[in-house]
């Protein structure tokens, strides 16, 4: 089972149980109480049908729930919640879980709507870039700023933007394109650049725009309604040194065959050099404007096609020669259809980080940050080259460690805490020692702000604490199940063999066939293979490579393969069609009902063996951690869940 999926399933069961129910003990595990409100919420969350609210179903779920808590108790007893791996993973989840509670929701909603509105329009812009690193010194920053201002004055004075871009811009592509970035839409450029472009009128030049790449001048040259996305298929012939004319002639020959009526899929499979798509008709994922900056020609041609099925003339890009077929045009969906996905994307984007920085400044005020700059400056003076190598150690007077470096919520944080943080979290860095120390200070302050904020959240939002518990227990359950059951069973070959020998009656099968299955989406190719076989030829290696999948000879029961099920169960070669896929099914012999071999039944044996291991383990846990059901608590649960 995938870990991410498992934790999601656990959390979907999550904690947000209502506060209207008075907490009552449902059961004790090793004298630790588990409360009725948790169980009631989880049950309601996972059972939506009226027929699920019966005493029998509730008791069955209670058994599963107590087993879950036993496993988590064992995981904690082993210290699995104290490992660095667990702490790191849980911290990641915890930060994500906090976002709905601490993020400036209005900002997230506003930025999501802003992004959608911009997705409705395409902007064509050019730029001039003067590079400057984010951590540049004030002196270097001023030099770059003065240079971009002087450049802007040249353009406002009448010089051609493209000409100046070729001369001045430090974007390497400017020498060839004059700074032209083509059309783009929201979420494709860094946010400050996007902001500038969407606020400019056509022909207008921006003031200097600072991004993480440096200072930009932006000029908008066109705006038009968004064209959404296109889905196309393609045939590509790649060009190498000295073979341009040969490749061009070949693509023209393929184009002539298409015009003559030959199948696109057949030609794509035979000639296209995109190994990932040639067997599926060359179909590519849908893409929008600006999504293929490396092959602008491809984008222009794809968007120029009007009707599904329309085929382009051959054209050349930096990668080779192409022919493109339009599959469909996809307009920008209504906001409600994309809101959730777009909000997730915005939450990870720089635009929310900018809003978060503003929010961080607000938190400093909210939690009463009082910094001691004298102590901070003193510690900063000890930054040296060892910090760049990740080997920094405190060399100052230990008395300094007792001094307060800042205060939050009237709690003093000492220089010693910051020094310990540096020693634990320092990394090899290419920046200056002062820059590295400053970044560590910012991280330390943000971490302490987060702790203060989390304490406030836990006091004001019990739902948040419950959700944290659910994620924590989900991670622990997955970890211990891996150790005790999921990884253990497949590796225990002797145990599996013994289990199989002791339970052979479980692994009987009905009528079977021993068969080999070959699949293709190219009907013409399959007909060609069948003609060769009818003429007495065998399927040779070249033909085998053209099949999209080949399942080796093995036993099949009814229901294991649609292709085998639809074939006559008779020795020989059969062809069947299933869901637009064409199969050759070679049946070697009929297998009578009987016992499956170990290898044939291995997947089922592993599953059954895992179930047996889990049952034995749970029985041991019940002996190790006494479980006491509170009759009054259970009665309360049954009453609450079965009342009409």
Instruction: Tell me the pLDDT tens digit for each residue of 297-338.
Output: 999 999 999 999 999 999 999 889 999 999 999 999 999 999
C-alpha Rg value of the chain to the nearest Å: 33
Domain check: are 70 and 88 in the same one?
Answer: no
pLDDT of residue 4: 44
Domain check: are 626 and 579 in the same one?
Answer: no
pLDDT of residue 103: 55
Domain check: are 363 and 456 in the same one?
Answer: yes
Q: Is the separation of the CB atoms in 156 and 210 below 8 Å?
A: no
What the block records as the tokens of 156 is 């406002």
**pTM to 2 decimals?**
0.53
- Whether 369 maps to a domain, the answer reads yes
SS3 405: strand
- Whether 486 maps to a domain, the answer reads no
Query: What is the domain count for the chain?
Result: 5
Task: Please report, for residues 17, 389, 436, the alpha-carbon distance to residue 426 in angstroms, rounded to integers and kept in the order given.
Answer: 41, 9, 8
* Packing angle of the helix pair 3-12, 462-481 (nearest 10 deg): 140
- Whether 495 maps to a domain, the answer reads no
- Whether 59 maps to a domain, the answer reads yes
Looking at residue 156, which CATH number applies to its domain? 3.10.50.40
pLDDT of residue 16: 35
Domain check: are 374 and 442 in the same one?
Answer: yes
Q: Is the separation of the CB atoms in 405 and 421 below 8 Å?
A: no
Domain check: are 460 and 554 in the same one?
Answer: no
What the block records as the tokens of 626 is 């006494």
Q: What is the spatial distance between Cα 98 and Cα 96, in angstroms, rounded to a whole number?
A: 5
pLDDT of residue 241: 62
The DSSP element (H or E) to which 34 belongs, if any, is strand 32-35
Q: What is the spatial distance between Cα 72 and Cα 70, in angstroms, rounded to a whole number?
A: 5
* CB burial of residue 348 (10 Å; 0-12, 13-18, 19+): exposed
Q: Is the separation of the CB atoms in 395 and 402 below 8 Å?
A: no
Domain check: are 362 and 465 in the same one?
Answer: yes
Domain closes at, from 302, 324, 346: 324
Neighbours of 605 (CB within 10 A): 21
Q: Give the bridge partners for 320, in sequence order.
A: 238, 317
User: Which are the contacts of 38, defined by CB distance < 8 A and separation ≥ 6?
Assistant: 15, 17, 26, 466
Domain check: are 214 and 129 in the same one?
Answer: yes
Q: Is the separation of the CB atoms in 585 and 575 below 8 Å?
A: yes
pLDDT greater than 60 at residue 279: yes
Are β-strands 512-520 and 581-591 bridged in parallel, bridged antiparallel, or unpaired?
Answer: antiparallel
Domain check: are 84 and 66 in the same one?
Answer: no
Domain check: are 100 and 172 in the same one?
Answer: no
Q: What is the spatial distance between Cα 644 and Cα 642, in angstroms, rounded to a whole number?
A: 6
* Of 155, 158, 174, 172, residue with least CA distance to 219: 155
pLDDT of residue 102: 67
- Whether 505 maps to a domain, the answer reads no
Domain check: are 360 and 461 in the same one?
Answer: yes
- Whether 501 maps to a domain, the answer reads no
Domain closes at, from 185, 200, 225: 225
Q: What is the spatial distance between Cα 32 and Cα 22, in angstroms, rounded to a whole number?
A: 18
Domain closes at, from 190, 225, 260: 225
Domain check: are 339 and 465 in the same one?
Answer: yes
pLDDT of residue 105: 58
Domain check: are 247 and 350 in the same one?
Answer: no
Q: What value does the mean pLDDT take over residues 156-178?
A: 95
Report the percentage of the chain scoring pLDDT > 90.
71
| ∠ Cα 69 70 75 (to 5°) | 95
CA dihedral for 276, 280, 285, 289, sign (positive or negative): positive
pLDDT tens per residue across span 113-146: 999 999 999 999 999 999 999 888 889 999 999 9
Domain that holds residue 258: 230-324
Q: What value does the mean pLDDT take over residues 426-437?
A: 90
pLDDT of residue 89: 92
82, 87, 93, 95: CA torsion to nearest 10: 120
- Whether 502 maps to a domain, the answer reads no
Residue-level length of the chain:
644
Average pLDDT, the chain: 90
Residue with tokens 């592993």: 606
- Whether 285 maps to a domain, the answer reads yes
Q: What is the spatial distance between Cα 518 and Cα 304, in angstroms, rounded to a whole number?
A: 39
């Amino acid at each position: 089972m995938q870990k991410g999926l498992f934790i999601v399933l656990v959390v979907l069961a999550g904690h947000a149980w209502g506060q209207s129910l008075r907490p009552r003990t449902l059961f004790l595990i090793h004298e630790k109480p588990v409360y009725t409100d948790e169980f009631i919420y989880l049950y309601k969350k996972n059972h939506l049908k009226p027929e699920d609210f019966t005493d029998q179903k509730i008791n069955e779920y209670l058994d599963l729930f107590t087993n879950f808590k036993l496993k988590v108790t064992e995981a904690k007893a082993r210290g699995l919640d104290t490992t660095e791996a667990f702490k790191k993973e849980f911290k990641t989840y915890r930060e994500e879980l906090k976002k709905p509670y601490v993020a400036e929701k209005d900002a997230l909603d506003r930025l999501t709507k802003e992004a959608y509105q911009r997705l409705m329009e395409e902007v064509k812009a050019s730029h001039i870039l003067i590079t400057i690193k984010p951590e540049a010194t004030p002196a270097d920053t001023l030099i770059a700023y003065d240079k971009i201002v002087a450049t802007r004055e040249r353009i406002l004075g009448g010089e051609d933007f493209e000409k100046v871009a070729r001369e001045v811009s430090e974007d390497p592509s400017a020498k060839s394109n004059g700074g032209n970035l083509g059309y783009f839409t929201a979420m494709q450029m860094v946010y400050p650049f996007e902001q500038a472009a969407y606020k400019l009128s056509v022909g207008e030049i921006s003031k200097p725009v600072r991004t993480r790449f440096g200072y930009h001048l932006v000029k908008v040259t066109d705006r038009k309604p968004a064209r959404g996305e296109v889905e196309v298929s393609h045939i590509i012939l790649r060009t190498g040194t000295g073979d341009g004319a040969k490749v061009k002639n070949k693509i023209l020959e393929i184009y002539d065959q298409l015009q003559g009526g030959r199948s696109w899929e057949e030609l794509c499979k035979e000639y296209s050099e995109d190994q990932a798509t040639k067997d599926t008709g060359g179909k590519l994922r849908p893409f929008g404007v600006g999504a293929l900056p490396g092959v602008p020609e491809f984008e222009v041609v794809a968007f120029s096609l009007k009707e599904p099925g329309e085929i382009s003339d051959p054209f050349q890009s930096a990668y080779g020669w192409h022919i493109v077929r339009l599959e469909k045009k996809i307009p920008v969906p209504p906001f409600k259809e994309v809101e959730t996905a777009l909000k997730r994307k915005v939450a990870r984007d720089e635009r929310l980080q900018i809003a978060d920085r503003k929010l961080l400044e607000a938190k400093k005020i909210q939690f009463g940050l009082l910094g001691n700059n004298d102590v901070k400056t003193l510690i900063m003076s000890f930054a040296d080259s060892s910090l760049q190598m990740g080997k920094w150690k405190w060399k100052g007077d230990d008395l300094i460690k007792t001094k307060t470096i800042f205060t939050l919520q009237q709690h003093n944080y000492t220089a010693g805490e910051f020094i310990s943080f540096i020693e634990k979290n320092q990394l090899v860095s290419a920046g200056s020692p002062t820059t590295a120390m400053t970044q560590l200070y910012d991280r330390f302050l943000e971490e302490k702000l987060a702790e203060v904020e989390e304490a406030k959240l836990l006091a004001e939002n019990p739902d948040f604490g419950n959700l944290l518990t659910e994620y924590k227990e989900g991670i622990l359950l997955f970890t211990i199940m891996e150790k005790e059951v999921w990884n253990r069973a497949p590796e225990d070959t002797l145990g599996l063999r013994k289990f199989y020998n002791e339970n052979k009656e479980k692994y009987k099968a009905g009528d079977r066939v021993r068969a080999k299955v070959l699949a293709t989406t190219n009907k013409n190719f399959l007909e060609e293979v069948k003609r060769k076989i009818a003429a007495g030829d065998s399927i040779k290696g070249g033909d085998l490579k053209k099949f999209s999948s080949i399942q080796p000879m093995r036993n099949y029961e009814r229901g294991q393969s649609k292709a085998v099920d639809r074939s006559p169960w008779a020795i020989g070669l059969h062809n069947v069609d299933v869901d637009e896929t064409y199969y050759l099914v070679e049946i070697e012999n009929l297998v009578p009902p009987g016992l499956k071999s170990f290898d044939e039944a291995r997947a089922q044996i592993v599953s059954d063996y895992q179930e047996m291991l889990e049952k034995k383990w749970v029985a041991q846990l019940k002996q190790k951690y006494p479980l006491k059901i509170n009759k009054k608590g259970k009665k309360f649960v049954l009453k609450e869940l079965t009342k009409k």
